[in-house]
Amino acid sequence: MFFDLSDKQKMIRSKAREFAKSEVGPTAAQRDEEERFDRGLFDKMGELGLTGIPWPERYGGIGADYVSYVMAVEELSRVCASTGVMLSVHTSLVGWCLYTYGTEEQKRKILRPIAQGKKLGAYSLTESSSGSDAKAMRTTATRDGSWYILNGNKIFVTNGGEAEIYLVFAITGAEQRSKGYSAFIIERGTEGFTFGKKEKKLGIRSSPTLELIFDNCRVSKGNLLGEEGEGFKIAMSALDGGRCGIAAQALGIAQGTLDTVIAFANDRKEFGKPLGHRQAIAFKIADMATKIEAARLLTYQAAWRESIGLPYGKEAAIAKLFSSDTAMQITMDALQIFGEYGNTKAYPVERFMRDAKVTQIYEGTNEIQRLVISRMVLAD
């Protein structure tokens, strides 16, 4: 097995790290406090090529791989998890679906500006009646000649309100069970498509999460992604790659927390010695570093398998489960190390902890990950 990175992968990681440190990190706390999305950051990511990492150059990408992509999400999340999840949804869910299931025309007209960072993407599956049970959705798409008429609501939509392109799943044939769902590409501004409630959240507060409302929204048949009835397959297969992205987000949160802990432990003194010289603290740091390295290897492995065309569903679920649980544990331990300082906004560890929690929930709760993993292991 070969664990070294290629020159191109190292270059992309270096570019993402420098951008995160110089452009994203300095405003992360303020944007979190104000619940403010900064479109300028996405625009700059597009200029750097970070918004189309795994897509071919003919579709506006830079022709790299999924390992490069998850490293970029990791580096962004190391200073701001909200920016990391913005890129994750944009790439893993929206871009991937368009690249995998889109027609040549859809790739040229819709994927290309997404990959170039000229348009932001959002993925819309969850409803108030359907979270883990996606088949319980109620949004409908009724055929009307060469059009579909959508009615219903979607909730918890990351990048909602800011994105120009929305991938929306709806019922087109309720009697057909899993083949009764279809996927649609809907542009912001389409008549009958409006935005509802904006969520006020515990974490990832500078990432907008909105409700979508469809009231007799007319969508051309040309905006159908894949074939009618393929929607459920598209949604579920996209979540495998999405889990790689969230694993990388959680990994970045954990690494950013450890960076902060190390700086604090080296700088703060107790009883005349740096805090890190206390065995209790040193051992916690050792455990943090070990878990982060394991999470990184699991995440990179899943992304590598996706890059070379091997099955990666089980590996993505394992990476997402382990990385998100690791991020939550590490941020909680960090708060304990920081003591009362950890309970304040003087340091970013309280923000990291708030951001870590949702990684155990979205792209499939960790209970769902355990279900997915156990079924695959038992089948093997």
Which pLDDT value is given to residue 54? 98
Q: What is the DSSP letter of 271?
A: T
Q: What is the DSSP letter of 21?
A: I
**Helical segments of the chain, H only:** 7-19, 25-34, 39-48, 66-77, 81-88, 96-101, 104-106, 112-115, 231-267, 279-307, 313-338, 349-359, 366-379
Mean pLDDT, the chain, rounded, equals 96
Q: Coil, helix or strand for 83?
A: helix
Ordered by where they begin, the domains of the chain are 7-119 (1.10.540.10), 122-232 (2.40.110.10), 239-379 (1.20.140.10)
Structural contact between residues 115 and 61, judged by C-beta atoms closer than 8 angstroms: yes
Which pLDDT value is given to residue 277? 77
Which pLDDT value is given to residue 131? 85
Both tokens of 197, joined, read 């409630």
- Which residue ranges in the chain fall short of pLDDT 70? 1, 174-178, 272
Q: Please list the active-site residues.
A: 363
